[in-house]
Structures are given as structure tokens and as C-alpha cells.
Chains A and B, each alone.
Chain A
Amino acid sequence: MMTDSVVQVRGLNVTYGNGPAVRGVSVDIPARQITAIIGPSGCGKTTLLRSMSRLLDLVEGVRVEGQVLFHGQNIYDPRVDVTEIRKRVGLLAQQPFPLPMSIYDNVAYGPRVHGLRERKALEALVEKELRAAGLWEEVKDRLREPASGLSIGQQQRLCLARGLAVEPEVLLCDEATSALDPISARRIEDRLLELKADYTIVLVTHVLRQARRLADYVIFMYMGELVEHGSAKKVFSNPKEDRTRAYLAGEFY
């Protein structure tokens, strides 16, 4: 049964200077579920993920062909306002990069940039998102301190709060827990499970256990191609393709 989908990839081809990274990928991302993109390193999963909010624009020497549809509109259309796309499709990267400002200003950065200035509204929003990220209790007394003083697990939760503050519909997570210790990683995973009720989440991971724990929908990629995709239950218990079966069995990674 096909649930509705907000993001659709159509015939995506991404080429870097030294060769193709994503070849002819077409897939619909189901709304309000956690979709995990899995595959061995170098298979193109990070590239596929980043193409969904035009973050590839920032990288040198990249060529993108094909379409990524968001609410029916191709985000690669030159007339599209890319800042609006990125507001609605957020990113949680592998390495947390707190902005060079206080904890409060980090979370308030996005809303401020998009025009929210009123202090009370900002304060309420900052608190709401820090709670949603599970960080509020730890930082509520030191909101004005530099964000760089937080531990790495806290920084990642801060980045989550920061990403949620612009009220996206989709959240892209690129190996969001691989730089963290197991406890912090678990906290992020728990948050994501809670958030899927309101957000569409697409995550890239090289840890199969994590995918099994979190995913509702699975996309398996190999050497830039989309090999198989489907509901997590079906793909994990009964993969159709041999390559998928081999990867899941740990024969290569």
C-alpha cells in the first residue's frame, strides 16, 4: 500500500569530477515515516540524500541531472527559491557543526534568517525545539554560553533543535550518530522515533542494526544504483535481490 509521499526522486544522475556517484535513481519517499538509505561505503547514499535539498550545489565540480520533486515541483528548476527548499528540507549532518554563537543564537539562527524577530516568539520557539531535541534540561541555565562548549552528544542534539526550529517538513540525517558515543546516539535515535509522527525522516546509515531499529522504509544502494526498496519488514526479512541479501548477511560492507 502506497502512503502519500512528499519527496519523489526521478531519474537522478549525479556526476563528480572523477565519475558518476548516482545513476538513474527513481524512488518515492513515504511521508511521515523513517526511510533508511543503506549500502556499502561509496555507493552514493550520501549523495542521494544531499541531492534532496540541493546541498550538492555547494560542492565543487558536481553535475546533477534528473529531478527531485518536492510537493510536485522540481527543486532543481532554476526559478525555485533554494533557500525556501532548504527551510522545508532540513539536514542533520554526521559531524555536528554548531554555529559560532551562543546556544540560544544557534537555535534562533534559522528563524531569524527567515524573518522572525519578535523576542518572545523566538524564546518560546527556542525552548520548544530544545525540548523536542531532549536538550532543554541540560542547557536551560546557560543559553547565552558559546555552543562550542557543549559535549559532542549535546552539540548534535543542538543541531537537531536548530534544524527543527525552521519548521521543516522533511529531515535528512546523514550518519547522524556515527560520531557519537552509544548513549548520545541512542538519545538521538529515540528523538527521531518520536519525531516521525510529524516529520518525514530520511536517514543514511552504514550500521544495519540502526536501520533495523528505526526504519519503516528501506532503500538499498550499490555502486550508485538503486538496487531495491520497499517496506523495512519486507526488505529485511525477504530481500528480492541477491546483492541485497548478500549485504544484509554481512558479506560486504
Chain B
Amino acid sequence: MSAGRWRRLKDRLAGRVMGALAFLVAMLVFFIVVALATRARPLLDIQSPVVLLTSSEWHPRQGKFGFLTFIVGTVWVTVLAMVLAVPPCLLCAIYLAEYAPRRLRGTIKPVVDLLAGIPSVVYGLWGILMVVPFVRDVVTPLAARHLGAIPLLRADNPTGYGILSSGVVLAVMVFPVIISVTEEVIRAVPDGMREAALALGATRWQMIKGVALRRALPGIIAAVVLGFSRAFGETMAVMMVVGNVPQIPRSLFDAAYPLPALIANNYGEMMSIPLYDSALLAAALVLLLIVLAFTIMARVILLHAVRRAA
């Protein structure tokens, strides 16, 4: 075979192999869903998915599997984390995008990225060492004394392990995601718009409030949805400080049992109780589908925003 022929053959072969790889990667989510669903089938055959999602009865040994408690627990923790994280992250992102001198931004951004690199267990460790004692020894007594009237803040749980602690830890964990995406989105607002507002005599903040944020709003919403999606699936750190008590929470101080923690905690016993493995893998499937929905939602929001701007 001539040299030219051999080179062309290599090129075509490489193209085919890489194309196949790309195809497999594209199908990967599908494979994961199928694999989990297949393993969860024994359970789904005898118990309808609707019951699975809406029942709060969780008694594996009696064959009763209901995810509601855990889904609600996850929602509580995640929503609290977002409520705690979004305002400071937004402010940080605005500062970095609009006010910070370039050198400061160049120093701060790597620091924020550093936060993103810290492993989940280390966050959990910090939670146990610092957040839980603080909640237990400072916040809980204070709330018990002064805020007992508000049901949301009824401080019945003296251990410190609960939604509040895990919400705080989770909030810090999603700082980097929200800050970096929001900052990018704000910086993408065209300078022409800014100049127009500033030239009319607005302060920088007025320009931001009236022009930049309004323009960046879809992107900011997408960033929040993305952060929510990340927080929803976070396992280790939350598991270590949330208490892991399977109950539907009534107050921020209550312990809860998020879905990822359920899966992680009971992995060891999966094979010993009938249908337990199907249940836990069904839980993983539910988690995946919820996160998928949020990811696609974020993308759709961004797509709409881009289309509107064009």
C-alpha cells in the first residue's frame, strides 16, 4: 500500500473509531437510565411508581418502600442551601464582574475555584467540627428561647445535626458554581448597554440594577437552577451532618434523610433484604431523573434567552 493510501486509511479509521466513541458518550445517560431501571424492575413490577414517589412509609423488612420522606428531606436541605447561598453569591458575582479591579478579580477567581476543588468529605468534616457545634450550642438555644412561636423554627432537635447544619454546609459547597456562572453571565452583557445607562448619569449600581441584571436575568436563573441541581445530588457532606432520621421535617432544626444519603447509607445491607437493592437503585433513578429535569430546564432557559436577545 502506498504511503498516501495508508495515511488516508488511518485517517478514516480514526474518524470511525472516534465517532463511535462520541456516539457511546452521547448514549451514556440513556444507558445509565436503562441499567438502573432494569435493576429496579422487580420492585416496580409489584409497586406502582406513583406509590413509590408519594408514600412516606419506609419499612424495607416489611416490603414497604416509599420515597416521599426522603424526597421532601432533600428538597428542604437544598432549598435552604439555595436561600442561604444565592444572595451572597449574586452580590459577589456583581462585585467581581462590575466593580473589582482586574488584579483583584484575577486573585479572587482562583480562590473561588479552590472552594470548588475541596472534596465533599472535607466539607462534611468541617460541618461536623464547626457548623454542628455552632448550631447546637448557639443557634438552637437562641431559637428555642426567642423564636419558638414560629413553627418553621421550632428548635426541638438538641443534637445540631439537621437541616440547618446541612443547609449551611451545602450552601458553601455551591458558592463556586453560582458565582462563576453568574459572573460570566453578567460580564456577557454588552458594554454598549452599560455605557448608555451610565452616560445618562446613573450610578454604577443603578445601571447594574436597571440594565445589566435585567439583561442577565435568564442566565442568572439558569445559574441558580444549575446550583440547585448540583446541590440536590450532593451526597457525602450532607449525609454527615443532616442526622439521617427518616421523618418528614417540620422545622429547620429537625433532622432529615435526603435521598442520596439513603442510597449511600444502606448500600451495605442492600443484598440482605429482598427488593432492597431494587428500591435503592430505583431511588438512584429518581434522583437522576430529577437532576436531569433541572439540567434540561436550565438549558432551555438559556436557549430562550439567547433567542430573545438575537
Contact = CB atoms under 8 A, between A and B. Distances in A.
B5 to A, nearest CB: 8
Interface string A39-66: 0000000000000000000000000000
B3 interface: yes
Chain A residues touching B, range: under 10
B87 interface: no
B8 A83 contact: yes
A115 B4 CA distance: 9
A97 to B, nearest CB: 22
A84 B11 CA distance: 14
A115 B8 CA distance: 13
A117 to B, nearest CB: 11
A81 B3 contact: no
A110 to B, nearest CB: 13
A6 to B, nearest CB: 20
Interface string B1-36: 001100110000000000000000000000000000
Contacts of B4: 81, 83-84
A161 B8 CA distance: 25
Contacts of A83: 4, 7-8
A114 interface: yes
A114 B3 contact: yes
Interface residues of B, number: 4
B39 to A, nearest CB: 43
Contacts of A114: 3
Interface string A98-137: 0000000000000000110000000000000000000000
Nearest to A115: B3
B136 to A, nearest CB: 57
Contacts of B3: 114-115
Nearest to B8: A81
Nearest to B5: A81
A58 to B, nearest CB: 15
A115 B7 CA distance: 10
B225 to A, nearest CB: 31
A191 to B, nearest CB: 29
Nearest to A87: B4
A122 B128 CA distance: 66
A225 to B, nearest CB: 33
Interface of B: 3-4, 7-8
Interface of A: 81, 83-84, 114-115
Given A83-B8, A114-B3, 6 more contacts: A81-B4, A81-B8, A83-B4, A83-B7, A84-B4, A115-B3
8 contacts: A81-B4, A81-B8, A83-B4, A83-B7, A83-B8, A84-B4, A114-B3, A115-B3
